[in-house]
């Protein structure tokens, strides 16, 4: 092979690799856009089936308290990524309906922690059951192969989110 032919082949190979990289990036961007839209729509529908009278922010705070245990308002604000005054309002609303309670820290009486009440725990369980039932009712129309594909996709998304944390 002549030097000119080798250079041309090398350039064609590099261009092909560059095209493949650009195509992969475009595919990743397109998949990300589709995922974002469908996940947002799904989240909105699931929130609508959570429970009347409790806001999505309140449900998120309840879930964080359940997962992490009793938290100070500052810790809960940081976890939920909201300003402390906003979290104060969220917790006040949850206290009004007896889903959380504030308790003094055993080691530092100046610190108050927010914890779930048994009513709050039951609320979360019922809320999850309703949302799971709603989603399951829509998954019943899928074939076993489609359901298996969604199961694999869910596992992949879990891994992606674990890597992001």
Can you count the helices (H) and strands (E) in the chain?
6, 2
Is residue 64 a part of any domain in this protein?
Answer: yes
33 and 61 belong to one structural domain: no
63 and 110 belong to one structural domain: yes
* Domain housing 2: 1-48
Identify the pLDDT of residue 46: 85
Low-confidence ranges of the chain (pLDDT < 50): 3-5, 8
Identify the pLDDT of residue 149: 95
- Cβ within 8 Å of residue 117, ≥6 positions away: 98, 99, 100, 101
85 and 43 belong to one structural domain: no
Is residue 157 a part of any domain in this protein?
Answer: no
Identify the pLDDT of residue 49: 78
Q: How many CB atoms lie within 10 A of CB 4?
A: 8
Number of structural domains found in the chain: 2
Is residue 129 a part of any domain in this protein?
Answer: no
Residue ending a domain, among 48, 65, 82, is 48
Q: Name the DSSP class of 102.
A: E
Supply the pTM of this predicted model.
Answer: 0.71
Identify the pLDDT of residue 102: 96
80 and 103 belong to one structural domain: yes
Query: What is the three-class DSSP state of 117?
Result: coil
Identify the pLDDT of residue 12: 52
Is residue 94 a part of any domain in this protein?
Answer: yes
Is residue 153 a part of any domain in this protein?
Answer: no
Residue 60 · residue 140 · CB < 8 Å = no
Identify the pLDDT of residue 4: 47
6 and 44 belong to one structural domain: yes
93 and 111 belong to one structural domain: yes
Is residue 78 a part of any domain in this protein?
Answer: yes
Is residue 127 a part of any domain in this protein?
Answer: no
Q: Name the DSSP class of 142.
A: S
Task: For residues 84 and 77, give the distance between their C-alpha atoms in angstroms, rounded to a whole number.
Answer: 6
Instruction: Say which CATH number the domain at 96 has.
Output: 1.10.10.10
Q: How many CB atoms lie within 10 A of CB 35?
A: 13
Identify the pLDDT of residue 43: 87
């Amino acid at each position: 092979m002549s030097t000119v032919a080798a250079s041309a082949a090398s350039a064609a190979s590099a261009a092909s690799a560059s095209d493949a990289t650009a195509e992969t990036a475009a595919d990743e961007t397109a998949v990300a856009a589709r995922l974002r839209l469908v996940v947002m729509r799904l989240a909105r529908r699931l929130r609508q089936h959570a429970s009347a009278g409790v806001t999505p922010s309140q449900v998120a705070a309840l879930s964080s308290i359940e997962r992490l245990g009793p938290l100070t308002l500052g810790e809960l604000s940081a976890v939920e990524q909201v300003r402390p005054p906003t979290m104060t309002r969220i917790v006040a609303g949850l206290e009004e309906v007896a889903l959380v309670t504030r308790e003094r820290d055993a080691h530092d009486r100046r610190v108050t922690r927010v914890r779930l009440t048994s009513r709050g725990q039951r609320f979360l369980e019922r809320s999850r059951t309703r949302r799971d039932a709603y989603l399951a009712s829509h998954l019943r129309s899928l074939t076993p192969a489609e359901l298996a594909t969604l199961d694999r996709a869910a596992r992949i998304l879990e891994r992606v989110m674990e890597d992001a944390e």
